Structures are given as C-alpha cells and as structure tokens.
Amino acid sequence: MAAVDGLLKMGVQHAVDELRLQTDEAPAMSSRGAKIRLSIPPTDEAMLRHLLDGILTAELESELRLSGKCATSYTTKTGEAFSVAFEHVARSSNGLSFLAIFRRVAAEKPAAIRPPEEPKRPLRAVADKLTDLLREAAALGASDVHLLAGDVVTVRVDGVLRTLERQIGRIEDLFAGVLEPAVLESLSTGASIDHAYDLPEIGRFRLHLYRASQKVAAAIRVLPQKTPSLAELHLPVPLDDLAELRDGLVIVCGPTGAGKSATLAALAEAAVRHRQGLLVTLEDPVEYRITATRGLVRQRQIGIDVRDFPSGLRDALREDPDLILIGEMRDQETISLALTAAETGHLVLASLHSRSAAGSIERIIDAYAPERQQQIRSQLSESLRAVVSQRLCRRASGSGRIPAIELLRGNHTIANLIREGKTAQIATVLQSARKEGMFPLERCLTDLVRSGQITLAEATAAANSPTSLASYLQS
C-alpha cells in the first residue's frame, strides 16, 4: 500500500475525481472542476517520493526524465482504481521536479481484479507457439514448464529439470491470446499474475507470470482436465474415510509439487458425493474442476470471484456450506476463520506448506503471537481430524513418480499433546498408533523400498528422519 492511499481515501469520501501532487506545491483536489482546499503544506521532492513509493517505479522515472511524461494505473488496498499521469516540471531547483495527477476511473472496483477464468478470445487466438509448446510438455509427461524471455524452455519430468530445443522471445507476446493486455502490462510494475485455463484435448494449465533478472518469466503447472479420484491417485494409505467425516479440519501438507492439490481435490469430490451437500472452494487460482453428480459445488477464485481468502471464508459461513476447501492457509485470519468453520459443524479441507504432520501443527501455532498461541492450541486440539503429509518419489524404473504419505489422525492423545504444547512427541505417537490408522512417512517409504518401487537413495532424500527410516528397514 502506497502512502498516498490516505489522500486518495479522503478524496473518495468527498467524491473527488482528481488529485494533483506537485514538487514544492500543496496537494490539490477537484470535484467536477471545482477545487477543494486542503490544509496540507507543500510537498518537497522527498515527501512526494514517499507518497508515491511503489507507484513511481524506476522504469517510469526513467521514462519521465527522457520524454517528460509517463503514465500508469494504481488500485488502492480498498479497491479504488485510478489512472496516474506524471509530467516533468521545469524548475531551477536540484533533483526531479514533477507533477502527479490521479484521476478516478472506477467508483467500485475490487482490488487486484484479474481477467475472467476463461479467456474472452476464442482458443484459436492463443498463439500456436504456446499451444505447440504445451502440447509437447503434456506429451512428455511434464508437471511444470519454466520460461524466461530470451532463454530456452525448461520442463520438469518426474521431478527432474530438462531443457527443450525451443527458445522463447517476449513472454507477453506468447500469452497475448490468453491474458488481457492490461493484465500483461501490470508485469512492468513488479506485479505477478496467476491464471488458469484449458486447452481441449491437451490439458488444464495453471499460469504464474512474474519478473526475474529484469525479464518476464513464467511457471506453468500442467494439470489433468478431470479431477482424479482417490483410487486413481494410488495412495499407499487409503483416505476414503476422511471423505466421510461430518466436521473438523483435515490438512494436506507437503513441499511444492508434492501433489497436495490433487489429493485435496479428490478428497473434496469424494466428500461432496458422500454427503450430497454443498461444497464451497476458495482457490488461487482454481486448479481442478470439481464435479458432483450428487450435491452442489461452488468454486471461487481469489481476485475474480472474491477479493481474498479471509473475505471468502467470511462469505462461506453465510452460504450454507457443508464442506469448505481452502487452497492454502496463508495467514492468521485465514487460519482463525478455518478453525471457526471447523468448530461450527463444517468439514474444512485445507492445504499447507509443511514437510510433516507435526510441522503443520507447529506452523499454524507459530503464526500467532505468544499471547494467542494457547487459544489456538485449544481450538486446533478440538477441531483437527487428520493431517496428510505427502511426497512424490521417483520410481526405481526411472519412469514416473509414486506418492508416499504420512497420516496423522486426531484422537485424545494427539489433542492433549497439541493442547499442552508437546508437538515434538507426535512423531513417537505416529510410530506406535498403527492400529488407530496412523502411518509415519518412514514406514510408508520402507514399504516402497522393500517392494522395489523406489530406491533407498530416493527414500532417504524424502524421509523426515533418515534415522527412523534406517530403523524400519532393519526391523
């Protein structure tokens, strides 16, 4: 949020349609041509730069110095959109003397609005080069595609990066048929873009465009067009009973690229089918299209259908859901609302970036200040039903990957350890509670090694505790 937001908020409250900021001049506002007096002293260059921090970028300033003019757009934290025009002012003082003019262009526009989920242009308008590239990546079985302007294409196949004999020019040109020009232009301000779209008979793709090394880059996740079932995931430990839970919190965790989204979507689809209820999802972006032959599904994308995760969760509690899927628990407010939903009779499925079941619990609690942690421990101990920690391991054959999971189930013992802050002892409970359906990651890896599906080296790299893995292998 730029410091100028305070002035812009004041302007919106007074129906102002223009704000003028100029070096060594007092800020001025006008509404329908009538000037509004402000009791604010003149702003020198340092103060003006402070007000415009994050808006007047180095690239814009360079353009301003060269041509005397430049323009951009800006949206406040509360969702008000403005066009911003900069003009160089010839003065004798040192430094850069300039004028910034903010003009309101939308009365009610949510923050960080992205283009519609499906491109407005027909799919034939998508650049053939991009379509051919994604077709090749899908044929190779790639999970991800990495692009950088002026560099060769890199794909990740079975967890290993490989380069293709393709070189990419301007990323903006490559995605011109997928994303609107105004969205692509936002990359010049340092913004990133998240989007998802389908190519018939090829697949569904999650896009993330960003700047790196002063160039535009892209990371593309290759997804199946159909949500896989729990059976199709070939998980070494069955999770079907989690889809039958009536309420509480189920967390799916693991590192990036571990298949969390697929497991979460499969669980959600199974749960809504079992419950014949209403599923509300909050995702950024929507990766898997969840369908329900029995029940209802409402998938909401952050930035398009709803402003952010907390707003979506507050809305969801008024939308009569039976189940709620949270694409990622990122902050205190999202975690608090998720726990509240789990406590009030909803089944909440959520993902979290963490390597282990115990690590997920610690990460949730550590998100809060010390004075609030005991309250969160208490809530979590009551609402937690299960934590699924997942890895994708390369098969010993060298072709394909296979999931390995750790499964923690909420019971009286686990609830007491969480409440008393003894999460370090959870690993011990996992090892001794197989009869209660718990499964440590190292035991799962041991089974995969013994069956010849993965190598010992792969299992060791994936284990949370190589020592525990060695112990299981020797027993």
Band of pLDDT at residue 294, cut at 50, 70 and 90: confident
Q: Which residue has the higher pLDDT, 291 or 154?
A: 154
Report the DSSP pairing between strands 152-157 and 142-148. Answer: antiparallel
| CB contact set of 110 (below 8 Å; sequence gap of 6+) | 79, 307
252-to-155, 263, 284, 353 alpha-carbon distances in Å: 26, 8, 16, 9
Band of pLDDT at residue 54, cut at 50, 70 and 90: confident
Q: What is the pLDDT of residues 198-229, one digit of tens each?
A: 888 788 899 999 999 889 999 999 998 789 99
Q: What is the pLDDT of residues 87-110, one digit of tens each?
A: 887 654 457 788 899 888 755 444
* Global confidence as pTM: 0.69
Q: Which residue has the tokens 């350890």?
A: 417
> Are residues 130 and 177 in contact, defined by beta-carbon separation less than 8 angstroms?
yes
Whether the bond between 285 and the residue before it is cis, its omega within 30 degrees of 0, is yes
Retrieve residue 389's tokens. 């920690």
Domains and CATH numbers, the chain: 5-106 (3.30.450.90), 123-223 (3.30.450.90), 240-474 (3.40.50.300)
Please, what is the Cα angle at 399 between 397 and 404, to 5 degrees? 80
Q: What is the pLDDT of residues 303-312, one digit of tens each?
A: 889 989 999 9
> Are residues 436 and 374 in contact, defined by beta-carbon separation less than 8 angstroms?
no
Whole-number pLDDT of residue 106: 59
| Long-range residue pairs from 238-244, CB within 8 A, at least 24 positions apart, any chain | 239/263, 239/267, 239/388, 239/407, 240/270, 241/437, 242/267, 242/271, 242/385, 242/386, 242/388, 243/267, 243/270, 243/271, 243/273, 243/274, 244/271, 244/274
Closest CA to 138 of 263, 257, 223: 223
